Amino acid sequence: MTEPGQGHTPERAGSRAGRLRNWWRPEGMWRRGIVLAVLAVLLGLLMFLHGRIPNDVGNLGSLLETFLPWLGIGVLLLLFLSVLRRSATALLALVLPAVVWLNLFGGQLTDKSGTGGNLTVVTHNVNADNPDPAATAQDIVRSGADVVALEELTGTALPTYRRELAKTYPYRAVEGTVGVWSKRPLSNSGPVDIKMGWTRALRTTVTAADGRQLDVFVAHLPSVRVKVEAGFTAGQRDGSAKALGEAIAADPAKKVILLGDLNGTMNDRSLAPVTSQMRSAQGAAGDGFGFSWPAAFPMARIDQIMMKGIDPVAAWTLKATGSDHLPLAASVRI
């Protein structure tokens, strides 16, 4: 005679086993997660064809390219959901966005920095509202850089930077709201017209310890904004990028470094007048993505160190100062 409850045990066990078989049986694995698979394919196509997304409406293409690396989070999220859903179809579809993302940014997951540089440069948007420019200047001195470019200098803060940097950097060139401080002599300094109506770019020549010369451009391109009614407003920045690119192309020097806040990333097609003729120190010799803004939680590298005719050896970000940008540094071999 069966005791109460004994007849139900095999049924419960069988039910659990049955559910387990249903979870992993081939027909279930392939039928589930169709929506996730479609999302994975769309994400892959979005990254692969990002250059085809037009800028005609709200500069959507440039907006996407500014934060393009972060689409990798979408890949991870879909991977988690696909495993949770136990969908072979979704997992297979995820191969597309994963491969595209790795092709675009996989190189930035490794440390490409080396040794042998003989010149260190730093660029930093010090922020016009910086509450302690003296402390920021001291942080710059501690970086050990040979050449320093500062952007967003104000008339009120400039005397502080001059005073704090004078001992370490006896040579300087300031034009409008940008400046260069150097341990090595500067010459032929002057403003660069980037079509803004006031000066936010300069060019100067640095004479290295071995007597070789290189031209240094410093630029702070116009800011961009994301507005509901207008989208990604970057028209003025794009015009200034074109003017800056023309100035760099016209420079007769064989060795050129660009330092500054370009308010755009290397992926942004609108900066092509500049990026097409120069290489990124971070991209060639950095460790990681080198995001510089905002300092509290960096999401994009809109500050840049670029060069032509010069080999970058290493590139890195410095610790936060009183600015909303992180300083960027690079070691180069000239």
Q: What is the mean pLDDT of residues 184-201?
A: 96
Per-residue pLDDT tens for 100-110?
999 999 999 99
pLDDT value at residue 334: 86
Could you identify the residue written with the tokens 């698979």?
A: 37
> Model confidence over 22-36: pLDDT tens digits?
555 555 677 789 999
Tell whether the model's pLDDT for residue 9 goes beyond 70. Answer: no
Q: Please, what is the Cα angle at 211 between 208 and 217, to 5 degrees?
A: 45
What pLDDT does residue 55 have? 81
Mean pLDDT of 254-282: 96
DSSP string, 102-137: HHHHGGGGSB---S--SEEEEEEE--TT-S-HHHHH
Residue whose pair of structure tokens reads 């078989």 in the numeric block: 21
pTM of the model: 0.87
Give CA–CA dist 193/266, Å, rounded. Answer: 22
239-253 residue pLDDT tens: 999 999 999 999 999
Residues in the chain: 334
Q: What is the DSSP letter of 308?
A: E
The answer, yes or no, to whether residue 230 has pLDDT greater than 90, is no
Q: DSSP for 145-210, please give it.
A: -SEEEEES--TTTHHHHHHHHTTT--EEEEETTEEEEESS-EEEEEE---SSSS--EEEEEEE-TT
Name the percent of the chain lying above pLDDT 90: 81
Domains of the chain with bracketed CATH: 32-109 (no CATH), 119-333 (3.60.10.10)
Q: Any idea which of 16-30, 153-167, 266-280 has the lowest mean pLDDT?
A: 16-30
Question: What is the arithmetic mean of pLDDT over 305-314?
Answer: 96
Distance from C-alpha of 99 to C-alpha of 44, rounded to nearest angstrom? 8
Encoded tokens for 165: 């940097």
Cβ–Cβ < 8 Å for 292, 301: yes
- For residues 224 and 213, give the distance between their C-alpha atoms in angstroms, rounded to a whole number: 34
Percentage of the residues of the chain whose pLDDT score is greater than 70: 88
Question: Which carries the bigger pLDDT value, residue 117 or residue 60?
Answer: 117
